[in-house]
Chain A
């Protein structure tokens, strides 16, 4: 579902936060 995609994208962005 698109909400799951949004959650995964948010989790990925959180993982990359320090790096970005």
Chain B
């Protein structure tokens, strides 16, 4: 099944619970999005800059989340 790396998809994940960059990347594996790793990183970076999520450190790691 194909997964779309979209702003809406990222927003939904971050509204549900705080996630690290690695958690987010796991939601959009290259084999499911048909994007290269570089394209995935660039797209996620642009989306996160636009969403400007809240940040908090949990267990020593930076997590992003969105308040609805």
Q: For the side of the interface on B, what is the size category?
A: 10 to 19
Interface of B is mostly: helix
B residues at A contact (CB < 8 Å):
20-22, 24-26, 37-38, 40-42, 44-45, 48-49, 55, 62
Report the Cα distance A8→B20, complex, angstroms.
12
**Contact across chains for A15 and B26 when beta carbons are under 8 A apart:** no
Q: For the side of the interface on A, what is the size category?
A: 10 to 19
Quick one: which of B37, B48, B49 contacts A4, CB cutoff 8 A? B37
A residues at B contact (CB < 8 Å):
4-9, 11-13, 15-16, 19-20
The answer to whether residues A11 and B55 also contact, given A6-B22, A16-B48, A19-B49 and a CB cut-off of 8 A, is no
The answer to whether residues A9 and B20 also contact, given A16-B49, A20-B55 and a CB cut-off of 8 A, is yes
